[in-house]
Chains A and B, each alone.
Chain A
Amino acid sequence: MTKRVLEDPAKRAMLLTALYVAQEQYGYLSHEALQRVADRLNMDPVQAYETATFYSMYRTEPVGRYVLQVCEGLSCHLAGGAEGLADYLQQVLCIHPGETTPDGLFTLQTVQCLASCGTSPAMRVNDTLHENLTTDSVDMILQELRGG
């Protein structure tokens, strides 16, 4: 039943979904991954690339195992704590936004709005959204991700 919900009659229209699947398998959208997607959907690789580079959730470069995305939107900023959270993560992980830790575990990014304006500060870790964060809860999340 789940499969039926995701299916779509037009082939090109499957591209966004196919890119997600490829990204999941390859970790990021490498040339090889884009070529596979294009072959499956019967299009030129450049068409897949063109679409992939438009959307911020597709990555054409490798990232760490966990991508930490901190919201720096206006509401988060006013409520306080958003900058604090980004600064804190920079300190603890010793990386700047856009960088990955040398062990390949964490990539830090700042993003615009996660629709968590009522529950900020907020951070997304891969597929999971964390809200109302404090430095303590961030520590716990990092510890868990490190397998500690």
Chain B
Amino acid sequence: MYEPILLRRVDLPRSETIGVYLANGGYRALEKALHEYRPQELVDLVKRSKLRGRGGAGFPAGLKWSFMPQDDVRKYLCVNTDEGEPGTFKDRVLVERDPHQVIEGAIIAAYAVGATRAYVYIRGEFFLGVKRWIKAIADAYEHHYLGQNILGSGFSLDMTVHRGAGAYICGEETAMIESLEGRRGEPRLKPPFPAQKGYLKEPTLVHNVETLANVPHIVLNGAEWYASIGTERSAGPKLFCISGHVYRRGVFELPLGTPLREIIYDHAGGVPGDRRIKAVIPGGASTPFLTAGQLDVPMDFEALVAAGSALGTGAIVVIGEGTCMVDVTRRTARFFAHESCGKCTPCRVGAMRILDLLENIEAGRGEPGDVQRLSSLCDGIVGHTFCPLGDALVAPIRSSLALFADEFEQHIKYGRCCAAA
């Protein structure tokens, strides 16, 4: 039986308070980090732990830290709490029910890279999360875990909450930085990367909430302990949030590499009515569909890429037999068309054209050749956009066209759905 690490405290009464956090081992990692490690040693520690980013891209965290310049310039840390991809609801749990774990990880990360100011960028819709962040940061200041000369170490850090205002694209790190600066959240061209020129053109480290939550545990228990959880290249625990056609929807913490089948049937209780599974989205709305024949895939970065999809945010959406895939695809497209920021043409226009075609097919007004038209629109978007949103919007559509081609053709031919129960 796997013992949760990140979610260890979330079911305790008043788990969000600093009192409960301190009573359960909280901020011990920070003391250890500040008093026993030099910054560079922490960067090496996190490198050896093999921790990878949990926001979707899976970039090695230690490597990201080492990209931050070591010169004595003003540096920033951004805590990405802009969770918003359909199917994803894991960061909400951490922020609403154990915010100090993330704050502790953020302070350690800031110390390691020499950042003196941290911004918590939180999705505007997370009203409770905003309240919890503000309270938790205020309490951390009062206990001298934030502010000047933290715990007598000579290291100082200020932390500020910055509330977003409803734009999925602001989860992309350069768009988030634009938004932090009070502008429209349109991504910047990379390079330069935020580690060179980020917030106010200064070096900036951006991390997802879940990534930072892992850091205190690595400091307390060591890199080798952490690397021993999960698989060789995908180390550590992962929060999987599962929704759609399952008995028990929710957030489950399991080691990376846990088979998808085990998560769906053992942890989420399987599909209601013992329906067969038609498709699974393994990592949020931007990841390609898996089919019923791929349920034994281990949920880690490498295995999912090999299976033609991606781990993404670890947001699993189970789609049972009898569901119309044209409708599912249309809903996914609707999200991305709504969230395209409009900065570059292929994404802005392409997403709307794709959505138009899908709405028509779903409404029985599809025409012969629409599948080819969809596919050529996808070709026109991939690789031609400023930021990954273009690729994100195309991935599920391409995979749906490939896996469920006959459903699309039937919709077009008969003007209705033959799959829906």
Same complex: yes
Known: A1-B142, A5-B161, A7-B160. A78 touches B335 (CB 8 A): no
Contacts of A19 in B (CB 8 A): 165
Nearest CB on A from B246, distance (A):
9
Does A105 reach chain B (CB closer than 8 Å)? no
Is there a chain B Cβ closer than 8 Å to A28's Cβ?
no
Contacts of B100-153 to chain A: CB distance below 8 A:
123-128, 134, 137-138, 141-142
Q: Cβ of A117 and Cβ of B86 under 8 Å apart?
A: yes
Determine the distance from Cα of A51 to Cα of B179 in the docked complex, in whole angstroms: 9
Q: Chain A residues near B138 (CB, 8 Å)?
A: 1-2, 4-5
**B241 engages A118 (CB within 8 Å):** yes
Give the residues in chain A near B165, CB-CB below 8 Å: 16, 19-20, 55-58
Instruction: Decide yes or no whether B183 CB sits under 8 A from chain A.
Output: yes
User: CB < 8 Å: which of B134, B166, B251 contacts A56?
Assistant: B166
B127, B168, B181: which contacts A13 (Cβ < 8 A)? B181
Which B170-190 residues sit within 8 Å CB-CB of chain A?
179-186
The answer, yes or no, to whether B411 is at the interface (CB within 8 Å) is no
Q: Report Cα–Cα, A133/B245, bound state, in Å.
A: 17
B250 lies within 8 A of chain A by Cβ = yes
Assuming the A-B contacts A2-B134, A12-B182, A51-B183, are A74 and B126 also in contact, with contact meaning beta carbons closer than 8 angstroms in the complex? no
User: Which listed residue, A6, A14, A15, A113, touches B134 by the CB 8 Å rule?
Assistant: A6
Distance, CA A124 to CA B89, complexed state (A): 16
Q: Tell me the chain B residues, 232-283 only, with Cβ under 8 Å from chain A.
A: 241-245, 249-251, 281
Q: Is A128 an interface residue (CB 8 A)?
A: yes
B243 touches A75 (CB 8 A): yes
- Are A129's CB and B127's CB within 8 A? yes
Q: Which of B142, B164, B179, B242 has the most CB of A within 10 A?
A: B179
Q: Which of A8, A57, A117 contacts B162 (CB 8 A)?
A: A8
Q: A7-B160, A57-B166 are in contact. Are A74 and B328 (CB under 8 A)?
A: yes
- The residue that A16 contacts in the complex, of B160, B164, B318, B320, with Cβ under 8 A, is B164
Nearest CB in chain B: distance from A65 CB, A: 17
**Number of contacting residues on B, CB 8 A?**
63
Q: In chain B between 276 and 334, which residues have their CB closer than 8 angstroms to a CB of chain A?
A: 281, 285, 315, 317-320, 323, 328, 331-332, 334
Name the residue of chain A whose CB is nearest to the CB of B317. A75
Please determine whether B200 and A10 come into contact, CB atoms closer than 8 angstroms. Answer: yes
From B84, B167, B332, contact of A74 by CB (8 A) = B332
Answer yes or no: A73 CB below 8 A from chain B CBs.
yes
Complex CA–CA separation, A44 to B164 (angstroms): 21
Q: Does B52 contact A (CB under 8 A)?
A: no
Q: Is the CB of B87 within 8 A of A16?
A: no
Contact with B along A1-40 (1 / 0, CB 8 A): 1101111101011111101100000000000000000000
Is residue A96 contacting chain B, with contact meaning CB distance below 8 A?
A: no
A111 to chain B, nearest CB (A): 8
Among candidates A7, A113, A129, residue contacting B84 with C-beta atoms closer than 8 Å: A113
Q: Is the CB of B87 within 8 A of A112?
A: no
Q: A88-125: contact bitstring with B at CB < 8 Å (1 yes, 0 no)?
A: 00000000000000000000000011111111100010
Q: A10-B200, A20-B163, A20-B165 are in contact. Are A5 and B137 (CB under 8 A)?
A: yes
A144 within 8 Å of B (CB atoms): no
- Rounded to whole Å, the gap between the CB of A102 and the closest CB of chain B is 27
Determine whether B409 belongs to the interface, using a CB cutoff of 8 Å to chain A.
Answer: no
Check A16–B335 contact: CB distance below 8 A: no
Interface centre among A15, A73, A118 (most CB of B within 10 A): A118
Contact residues in B for A124 (Cβ distance below 8 Å) = 125
User: Which of chain A's residues has its CB closest to B135's CB?
Assistant: A2
Interface residues of A in 33-54 (CB under 8 A from B): 50-51, 54
Any chain A CB within 8 A of the CB of B83? yes
- The contact sample of 21 A-B pairs, CB cut-off 8 A, is A5-B141, A5-B160, A6-B134, A8-B160, A10-B200, A16-B162, A54-B341, A55-B164, A55-B165, A57-B165, A58-B165, A75-B249, A112-B86, A112-B334, A115-B91, A115-B92, A115-B125, A117-B89, A117-B244, A117-B249, A118-B89
Other 12 A-B pairs with CB < 8 A, given A78-B319, A79-B249, A118-B249: A10-B200, A12-B183, A16-B165, A50-B184, A54-B185, A54-B186, A54-B341, A73-B87, A74-B285, A74-B317, A113-B84, A127-B127
| A-B pairs with lowest CB-CB distance, top 6 | A15-B182, A55-B165, A56-B166, A117-B243, A57-B166, A54-B184
Which B residues contact A (CB, under 8 angstroms)?
83-89, 91-92, 123-128, 134, 137-138, 141-142, 159-168, 179-186, 200, 241-245, 249-251, 281, 285, 315, 317-320, 323, 328, 331-332, 334-335, 338-339, 341
